[in-house]
Structure 1
Amino acid sequence: MTPVTVRAANTHKAMEELLRRLGPDALILSTRHVDGEVELTALPPDAEAAPAQPASFAQAFQREAVRPAPADPMTALARRLLLPDGLAPDPVTRILVAGPPGAGKSMLAARIAAQLMLDDPTLRPQIVAPRPAAALVEDRLRGWARLMGLAIDRPTTMQAMYLPDPAPHAPQIVDLSDIPADAPTLTARLVETAGAEPVLCLPAGLHPSRTARLCRDWQAFAPTVTLTGLDLWWPERAELDAIADAGLKLTRIAAGTGLVRSLSRPAASDLHRWATGWTPATAAAAG
């Protein structure tokens, strides 16, 4: 079957187009950057090479004897939920952090800033936390920003609608915690910047139906998903299915209480580890 190749401005848009054309189980063959764009090549999930006709019974018997064992049930879940192994992250210009109350959005914004500075010491992220009105109290995000030597901008919602484009050395991290009602509208406006990444912040342990609802609510923006609170409990299979069923990718997991080295990119090995806490029937059904 002929491979399908798509190009887009960034990985998230390319994955979204592949999802639309081939579905969540597409087999990705290659990823590369071409002329400032991301190029993905994939096969449909049911594509298989036509088996050669065996010349004899002995050859047929030998081929059957070496047939590989059925794939681990976590493999299919990993393919639907995680980015392909070896796919380098896109350069970030603006990250928009949204999610339900109590998910840890402000902490995640600070952690992303810390991670960017560790990965590239020349960067000075700009943390932006829009507010509905005048701020009367000190907030935790401002304290975390000070620990990193960063300032925090607190524009009103209307001022945030007209944020200037981020400078190359100062990617913007926009914490939408204080304006939940206006978060979708502001995201729709700011996500148009080249290299912008909406992030849906969800706490591990959220009821699967709530996870599914939040993923559907934000699905139009094609956000990546970050699960927080992994030091408290591991996500259940139904939570992960809800994310994958919405066509979203889990790209970060957060654990612990510190800012530094608290984010990581999930891998299939994490799914196997979490599955040790699932019931046998649930783990077996994960594929």
Structure 2
Amino acid sequence: MTGTILLTGAAGLIGRAVHRTLRERGDHVIAVDRSGGDEIVACDLGETHRLYDLAASATATVHCGAISGPMVARDNPYLIIQSNVAGTANILELARVRKMRRVVTCSSVSAYGNTPAGLDLVPEDVPLKPTSVYGASKAAGEHLLDGYALQHGLDGVSIRPAWVYGPGRTTDCAIRTMILDAQAGRSTHFPFGRDFYRQYVHVDDVATALVLALDAEKLPRRSYTITGGSYVVLAEVARTMKMVLPQADITMGAGRDPVDDVQARFDISAAKRDLGYSPKVPLEEGIRAYADWLAARN
């Protein structure tokens, strides 16, 4: 990969992993984030003039800057729209004006909402029917990218990760709760989830997918779903947790997560075919690395 890469959301969970991946292979990265940080320039996505100045030499963008999940800013939907929809529009317009080679945006499986009944594998082309403002903001960002591609010829692609976990995650997450409780000697009880399926993906696998999408010579699609390759109920996640942390005491009730979508297994064959993507971090290994990170941090 040659040229200079603008990376937004560089201080976030996924952005940090992408930043590390790009730097380790020697890319020149203009890393920005609203909060700033080590080797990261403080810049909000709404600061368009500053973005244009910072990105004067950028030839491609990996756009991770956003409200990061349906569990964040639930009581402030306008902030979600401002960050995820208007912020994405600003990045797409910047890429159009600067004639960038490609924009890779980090979407989410929340854009799907509840997946259609009767599907064993969910392809990318099913209708997007988000059930939250966050999911709707990600679907809107994808539609904006499609519009820029069709009307203005912008080369762009959306990557839809499933539930992202791993070192660096500080927002609410069932895996994080289980780890922190076990490390503190507390029991964990969820009133739901024993038979509820979820598809986790390690943050390093998501970063790999984003960089593969950035590097690909040609992309026949404008959206790809990324999972860790597993499709397990939360009770199985708890059993895996006890393999890593034997002291974990976890109980669960039956039923779905009341704030999550019911989703069948996602088909990741398109990402394997077109990007060369294959998940590398098994759930047990990922939980162990996350537990080590949380223990060191706390």
TM-score w.r.t. the length of structure 2 is 0.35
Looking at CA atoms only, which structure, 1 or 2, has the larger radius of gyration?
1
- The higher-RCO structure (CA 8 Å, 6+ apart) is 1
TM-score w.r.t. the length of structure 1 is 0.36
